[in-house]
Structure 1
Amino acid sequence: MGKLLYSATMSLDGFIAGPGGDMSWAVPYLGPNPVVGELIGDIGALLVGARTFGGDDPHRGTEKEGKPFGGGWEGPQFVLTHHAPAEPVPGVTFVADLAGGVAAAKAASGEKYVNVLGATVGRECLEAGLLDEIFVCIAPVLLGGGIRLFDRPDGKPVRLERLHQSEAPGATNLWLRVLG
């Protein structure tokens, strides 16, 4: 089965969303990025946090809103939540527990990546020892507050190994392997 990859666009000071989950700051940095373009083709399923699914969208208010990667990707989505909507959402499965969500997303992804979206789900996957890799596009901006890429109150470090680093217009890409 495929690997679990946590990916995000992050400000230089470590935030993936601004205060209140605002993602509009990221729009100027979502331009052409060959590494992201290649990654999108390697994603078989998404494992998404409830907050991310419910509205932390840089394309809010546009025709791209609610579409993964601004409409650049289609496939099965698994949303981790304890409050599934009453009405089904096409292509989306709501799961109540991390282990079940990861298993379902891996089964749906085949040999491709399960792309983890959302800070809380990313942290939970990491703490459960399920996360294989992290891909971050570092945008040249300081937000000063918001939702961090990774926030762990105990401050215990997580060892990573750099697999790849590259430059793209408006971002520096880092691809890392989780060592533990």
Structure 2
Amino acid sequence: MPASSPRTGSSPSVPAEGPDGLGRALRARRLRRFLVLVALVGLAADQVTKALAVELLTPGEPVPLVGELLQLYLLRNPGAAFSFATGATWVFTVIATVVVVAVLRVSRRLGSRAWAFALGLLLAGATGNLVDRLLRAPGFARGHVVDFLALPDFPVFNVADSMICTAAATIVVLALRGIEIDGRRAVSGRSRSSARP
């Protein structure tokens, strides 16, 4: 009797997950690298601008950049972004740490460049302020964040805060457009029912 034929679709030269799965894995790896690049550039920008602010600015003395529209104003912030909850510094240290860990875990599902950009900004912003809380005075996990950007009738903020807000706005837009982290588009119940003949 002839030997039984091999199972269809199997090939010793193709990985078990198939060529499509391999392509998704390679794309996810590239997107994670892009996320890390965005995070590193953002973190560098945040820390360099904070160092310059501490070195060049005098606390309480505003320096106009664009008239009164945008000023440099050095402030040490013990609270969250935009000086919220100034008496709970250690709480926001924990929250920032959780955000960093969560972004790194979620990044394994990446399939969208826009999501990679948004999560990279979020990681940069959270890490930038976390570095301040861990390493700046008055002590470990209680450090005050350096803020130095001032707009009219708006709390003083920094580059990390602006990246967090940009990331949040981008995530909202992606969610409204139905784009998921893995790059697929979410299909609502209404869309599914309307697609039926």
Normalising to structure 2: TM-score of the pair?
0.23
More helix by share: 2
Greater relative contact order structure (CA < 8 Å, 6+ sep): 1
Question: Which has the higher Rg, Structure 1 or Structure 2?
Answer: 2
More strand by share: 1
